[in-house]
Structures are given as C-alpha cells and as structure tokens.
Amino acid sequence: MSRFWSQAAQRCEPYVPGEQLNQPGIIKLNTNENPYSPSPAVVEAIETEAANQLNLYPSPTVDQLRERIADANELTKENVFVGNGSDEVLAFSFMAFFDQGKAIRFPDISYSFYPVYARLFNIPFKSIPLRDDFTIPAEAFFQSDGGVIFPNPNAPTSVYLELEAIKNIANQNPDQVVIIDEAYIDFASGSAVSLIHDYENVLIIQTMSKSRSLAGLRVGYALGNAELISGLTRIKDSFNSYTLDRLAIAGAVEAINASDYYVNITAKIIATREWSFSEMRKRGFTVLPSQANFLFATHASFPAETLYVKLKEAGILIRYFNKPRIENYVRITIGTDKQMQQFFHALDKILSCV
Ligand SMILES: *Cc1c(COP(=O)(O)O)cnc(C)c1O
C-alpha cells in the first residue's frame, strides 16, 4: 500500500494469470492455449503488415475486421465491437453496462476476472452457487438488480448451459444487460449469438485466444445490438483510440478468413478431449462433461494439489485453484495427442507411487 495510490488502486485485487514458464521442453496444459499454430495465412498477413505502414496509426474504428466478423456471424459491423483481448472487452463492458450500487450476478465458480473488475469499478456483486453437479442454476439469475455475466461453457468447470436456459435468463432480466462470455464456444455445441436479434439486452463476447490459436495477438470482440455496441465504443474512445494495433488487425482478419484451417484443428482438439476424458475415467478420475478445450477433474484418493505439484516436477504444467468447492480439482488444457500421451505417461507414474 502506498499513500500515493488512488482509492481504485488501493481497492483492486489484481487477477493472477496461470504460470507462463519459459522452460524449454515444458508441456503447458495450464492456460487453455491452443496447442496448434495459427494458420500460416495469419502469420503471413502479420509479416506483410509489419513490412508496411507501422509509422502510421491503425484504424480507430477497425471497420475491416468488424465487417469480417459481422459477415461470419450474419450481422453488420454495427453489431460488432473489437478490443485488445476479450479481457479488455469484458472490462469495457463492466464500465459500459454495470453501475455502482446495483449488484450484478455471476456464478461462485467462474472466471476469476469478474470479481476483479467488479472491485476495480466499485460494482457490488452476488456470487451465485453452482449446483452440486456444477451446472448453472438459471433461476438464480432471474430479476437481477444490476446485470448478469457468466462464461458459456463455464470456466474452469467446462460445463455448457443450453440455449433455452440462456433465453430464460435474458427474458427475466429485461432491463439489465446479460453478458455471455463465449471464450470456448467453438469447442461446444452452439453459440447464443442468434439471440441478439431478439434480445436487445444480450451481449456475446468471444476471443481469438483459444480456438483461433492467437492468445499472443490479443484480439477479442463483442456481438450485440447497435445500442450496446455504441455504449462500448463510447467507453473505448474515452480510454484509448487504438486498442488494436496494425499487426493484430491484419492477423485477426486473416484468422476469420482461414475458417477451414480452424474447423480442422478444432475438430482435432475435440477428438483429443474425448479420448483424454475416457483415459482420465479409466484412472479413477471424476471428470465433468466438457464442451471446452480443457477438462476439470478430481480423484477420490489422490489430492489435486499434490497432483499439480508432482506433474510440475515432471515438466507438465496444469492448473490448480486453491478455492472453496474446487480445491480438490485440477484443470487440464487439451494439448496435442502426443502431449496428452506424455501427460498420461507421467500421470501413471505418479498414481502408481501411492
Ligand atoms: C481465456 C478467457 C478469456 C480471455 O481471453 P483473452 O481474449 O485472451 O483476453 C475471457 N473469458 C474466459 C472465460 C476465458 O477463459
């Protein structure tokens, strides 16, 4: 604490991301990154852009990328907001749609950035307990005072909420914004994006960090009706005119164009997930039904924290959260088939030592 800090700087409790160790040979299954490279066309577009025009500011309205994202979702660019990673889009959404003094709701087990933003912007919140099977109890989100936000599929649980339940939540919050954070939606059975035509209070947030293999480029976006989008634009333009740089814009446009490539690697990750799911169960784990690029699992006789520590010693990073209700769970990002085989090899050695 410093006497020079503003109240916001004093009040906030910064988010702690998963470890980013730069050890050669380490297998990283801890931050839900994509194990495959981005499309070569994306890298080429970034290189071409880097060779040109970096002396000039990028577009403040990012029309080209917004148009491409709009086309891909059968929308218009007035329905699309882009930002520097979906984390920034989330932060702007808190500023644009949630107010001090009116409690918002999100699940007790959820993306840990939500309480961080709430504290930073001084927005009260109610965390809603997930059911014992870690599904979202939709009714508990009805008639909120200040708005609703949750990931779908949820993180770190990987559990998916059906569209009907999301419609009910939107119907029961007619005067509040309902934000669906679809960071993992390409690994799941279906997006709620179609709802934005019928529900003016629904905002969908997606990212290029997971299914598009571009965590390092920092591109996220929001889809919603034009009024919500212009609310976000007002906040952004009061903050930074150029949140996306030229390289990010060029790469992200190509990532939308290269959809065949991404459909293919997404299918591979889903196949590896299903195989890994059954391999975990064979070893006595309880694994939640996953519609994401990670598994959330617990073992009746082997403590999760020990597992995390022992795997790290073996050069494999997974995620462990020392938090109520999930302190005996681990989250394992789906890697390539080869990485998962190495993971199970290390896991067998650890489990056989008990
Ligand atoms: C990874 C993740 C994000 C953030 O993604 P970026 O676009 O990389 O900022 C947002 N929400 C959830 C639930 C995530 O898991």
pLDDT one-digit tens code per residue, 98-141: 999 999 999 999 999 999 999 999 999 999 999 999 999 999 99
Q: Which of 257, 280, 308 is the last residue of a domain?
A: 257
Residues 104 and 58 in one domain: yes
Q: Is the CB of 213 under 6 A from ligand 1?
A: no
Residue 26 sits in the same domain as residue 64: no
In the chain, how many domains are there? 2
**Could you tell me the distance, in angstroms and rounded to a whole number, from the CA of residue 346 to the centre of ligand 1?**
28
From first to last of its 354 residues, the chain has per-residue pLDDT tens of 899 999 999 999 999 887 777 778 899 999 999 999 999 999 999 999 999 989 999 999 999 999 999 999 999 999 999 999 999 999 999 999 999 999 999 999 999 999 999 999 999 999 999 999 999 999 999 999 999 999 999 999 999 999 999 999 999 999 999 999 999 999 999 999 999 999 999 999 999 999 999 999 999 999 999 999 999 999 999 999 999 999 999 999 999 999 999 999 999 999 999 999 999 999 999 999 999 999 999 999 999 999 999 999 999 999 999 999 999 999 999 999 999 999 999 999 999 976
Please report the pLDDT score of residue 27 as a whole number: 96
Task: Identify whether residues 108 and 171 lie together within a single domain.
Answer: yes
Ligand 1 nearest-atom number relative to CA 31: 1
Same domain, 126 and 243: yes
CA–centroid distance, residue 318 to ligand 1 (Å): 17
Domain range for 220 is 40-257
Distance 278 CA to ligand 1 centre (A): 26
Q: Tell which of 188, 222, 257 closes a domain.
A: 257
The three-state DSSP-derived secondary structure of the chain is: CCCCCCHHHHHCCCCCCCCCCCCCCCEECCCCCCCCCCCHHHHHHHHHHHCCCCCCCCCCCCHHHHHHHHHHCCCCHHHEEEECHHHHHHHHHHHHHCCCCCCEEEECCCCCHHHHHHHHCCCCEEEECCCCCCCCCHHHHCCCCCCEEEECCCCCCCCCCCHHHHHHHHHCCCCCCEEEECCCHHHCCCCCHHHHHCCCCEEEEEECCCCCCCCCCCCEEEECCHHHHHHHHHHHHCCCCCCCCHHHHHHHHHHHHCHHHHHHHHHHHHHHHHHHHHHHHHCCEEECCCCCCEEEEEECCCCHHHHHHHHHHCCEECEECCCCCCCCEEEEECCCHHHHHHHHHHHHHHHCCC
| 61 and 26 belong to one structural domain | no
Pocket test for ligand 1, best of 111, 205, 294 (most atoms within 8 A of CB): 111
